[in-house]
Amino acid sequence: MPSRVALITGGASGLGVQTALHLAAQGIHVMINYRQSRDKALALQQRIIEQGVRCGLVQGDVSRKEDCRRMVRQTVDQLGSLDILINNAGPYIFERKKLVAYTDEEWELMINGNLSAAFYLCREAIPHMRQKKWGRIINLGFSHAHEATGWMHRAAFAAAKVGLVSLTKSLAMEESEYGITVNMVCPGDIVGPHKEQTIKQVRQERSFNLAPIGRPGSGEDIARVIAFLVQEDSDFITGSIIDINGGLNVQAKQLTRNKKEGKPR
């Protein structure tokens, strides 16, 4: 297998951590993008280097197109290539509120960080992949995004990610002739420290969980799927939107919570 290089946005924390470790375990060199978590990025870099692959760090905010361009350029300059792009980073507003309560700045942050960022990064990365007639692009969405479902109190985030579903499928068709696959992985309700944990770690917890599978989701659940999609022989999978949610519909969970709390629809 040829030596491959992956750029993981938001790779220093959250779901990016297990993804970086799993790709490194496959012998893939990794460039970790971070925005503010430099100390965590340095610690993860050391863990990856210990697996026998190269690992670089690049600071940048995916909501800024200038930073997106620089991230791709620095990856190629430092690691010699860019074969795999994992669009993991994406801003999120935790406060639950209806669309009319969003400011212009909040709307622009959601769209720029979750949709436009993928456009800028893909546009910069794809020419490098075309040269090799090989590439893998993985976008991160949310559970059931492919159904273009509404998500109460998350309208701006949902609009951006549903737009990313269409972008994923369009790019998959456009770039297939160059050996480039484009897929979307859609995590379910994976929160807090679970994002950086392994399956073994979350199985040891005794906390109540709504997922039908009977345990919380983990970062490893997402990383295992991404690691499979970037393999050489996964080239027949493209334009796919893959839910990883333990059987739990996050939107339905939100409606259930609203009813319990007596909040209006």
pLDDT digits (tens, 9 = 90+) for 162-200: 999 999 999 999 999 999 999 999 999 898 999 999 999
Contact 139, 164 (CB under 8 A): yes
The pLDDT of residue 144 is 85
Per DSSP, 88 falls in state -
Tell if the pTM clears 0.85, that is, is over it.
yes
Q: Round to the nearest angstrom and report the end-to-end CA distance of the chain.
A: 53
Q: What's the CA gap between 208 and 197, in Å, rounded?
A: 17
Q: Are 180 and 134 in contact (CB under 8 A)?
A: yes
Burial class (CB in 10 A: 0-12, 13-18, 19+), 234: middle
How much is the mean pLDDT over the chain? 91
CB contact at 8 A, 196 and 223: no
Question: Where do the structural domains in the chain lie, given as residue ranges?
Answer: 5-261
Mean pLDDT of 231-260: 79
Taken in order 230, 189, 166, 70, is the CA torsion positive or negative? Answer: negative
* Exposure of 92 in the CB half-sphere (CA atoms within 13 A): 13
Query: What is the assigned CATH class of domain 5-261?
Result: alpha beta
Residue type, 6: A
